[in-house]
Amino acid sequence: MQRALVVTRATLAVIAAIALLVIGTAIHQTLSNGIPVGLFAGGLLLFVFGLVFRPHRFSSWIFSLTFAGGMIVVAAETNRDAILPANFLGFAWSYGAIGLAFLVSLWPRIRIRPSVFDNSGKNETRD
């Protein structure tokens, strides 16, 4: 059961990374009054998806590695039309998105443990 759950999470991470790569690459050049709203929207989607998979370390890494690998494939220079143009928004999306995906995966997981000196859970009466 546990193994099936891990495989399911990893599969969902791969699907989400590919979907986000396609959506983000399509919208990252969108400008509104000179503001790169497409770049911000793609970055926000990437951050939210990264947070979804973050509680499970393996699926978080699968998400980040799939996204980075897909970005390398998309950014590869070919003799055809470029999918990611060589301008500021293209570079910001390609390098910034990879960095953001790994930043979310690498950020330390902080677990709050009850303090030794915390007496709030005890029913003690002192006279």
pLDDT digits (tens, 9 = 90+) for 88-119: 888 888 888 889 989 888 887 777 776 666 66
| Residue 69, number of CB atoms within 10 A of its CB | 14
Please give the DSSP secondary-structure letter assigned to residue 81.
-
Looking at the predicted structure, is the pLDDT value of residue 42 above 70?
A: yes
> In the predicted model, what is the mean pLDDT of residues 40-67?
89
What's the whole-model pTM score? 0.76
Alpha helices in 1-127 (DSSP H): 2-27, 37-53, 57-75, 88-91, 97-106
Q: Is the pLDDT of residue 121 over 60?
A: no
